[in-house]
Amino acid sequence: MPAAHGPASAGLAVPDGPAKQSGSAQIPIIDGRGFLARERRGAPPPQDVAAAISEAGRTLGAFQLINHGVDTALVERMKNAAAHFFALPKETKLQVRRSKDNPLGYSDDELTKRVIDLKECFDFNQYHPGRPHIPALHTPNRWPEGEDEFRAALQAYLSELSWAAFKLLEAFSLGLGLPAHALHPAFGDPEQATHTTLMRLNYYPPADPQEKGLALNEHTDPGFLTILLQDSQVGDEWCAVPPISDAFVVNFGDIAQVPGTALCKQILSNDVYRAANHRVVAPKGGRARYSYAVFFNPEPEAVCQPLPDFVTRERPAAFRPVPWREFMQARVAGNIEDLGEEVQTYHYRIQP
């Protein structure tokens, strides 16, 4: 079976330059042939799957992954836990409200490019008490009291998806012509979870049918890649992305576009891959929407800069080094309060 299928209509905005008309761009559907399954962790991704992922990264920066191999029972358990949490009384959710000191927990006033999102969200990571404290990256999770199943279901899902992200990282490496494990050092040990990956649950209440607007302003994600599971259509004017049952929408973030190093280990693509610009239109028709995003991010000390393999006289380095900790802390701070223009990768771009 070929890895790449025909285009899908979906709800991720992946523009190339100026905003396109609806339907003018569509993201590919890639058959993963189960390569994210737990029992296949030690095997490299199939070459044709890696090639299809590479092509998607070079063109639109996003794709839908079907037949991925992640346990559907685990997915359903997570979704049920998320729905339960957002149905809790507001005062219960506010007990785990995030703050400037700890950006993990519940929020109903998230900012995206200085605009308040029309949603509720809950953020958490794979925090381990024995790991050094890193403000805005590794901070203690906030869990609502008495909600043990909520905590267990979410931690199990994030642990599994973190492994899946490492397999996608291997496919990315193979697509660049590198060994499968070439980029692992930048993200640390999968067993110890030394990377700064986090997960976000999103709840978008139904919008007034008379109003038109965005539930989430257009943006790119700051990390390496995002694995998104959605439950209903998200609209936008560049590329319509209708959800496929059990499929993951994978989009590359800023750090995939701005190639880098971590602790002198070199990674990424000197603008060969693009970061997918996307947004969420407020749900209509009296129906709420949920989505579940895992943001796969490097280790705190990663310094993102172009791979020598992708720097030539004809294609010089496009960006100066980007310290991941500095970049991520600035983005997190801008999500919580309006600090002016959000830091973006173009602030690190080398002007010709």
Q: What are the structural domains of the chain?
A: 4-340 (2.60.120.330)
d(CA 153, CA 38): 17
Greatest mean pLDDT among 41-55, 133-147, 301-315 lies in 41-55
Q: Greater confidence, 132 or 156?
A: 156
Percent of the chain residues past pLDDT 70, beyond the cut: 66
Q: Greater confidence, 117 or 76?
A: 76
Which residues contact residue 29 at a Cβ distance below 8 angstroms, ignoring those fewer than 6 apart?
A: 4, 5, 6, 7, 8, 63, 64, 65, 66, 244, 247
pLDDT grade for 182, boundaries at 50, 70 and 90: confident
Cα 18 to the chain's mean position, in Å?
Answer: 23
d(CA 86, CA 96): 12
3-class SS string, 271-291: CCCCCCCEEEECCCCCCCEEE
**H or E segment and range at residue 165:** helix 148-175
Instruction: Report the predicted TM-score, pTM, of the whole model to 2 decimal places.
Output: 0.79
pLDDT digit string, tens, across residues 330-352: 777 766 766 666 666 667 777 66
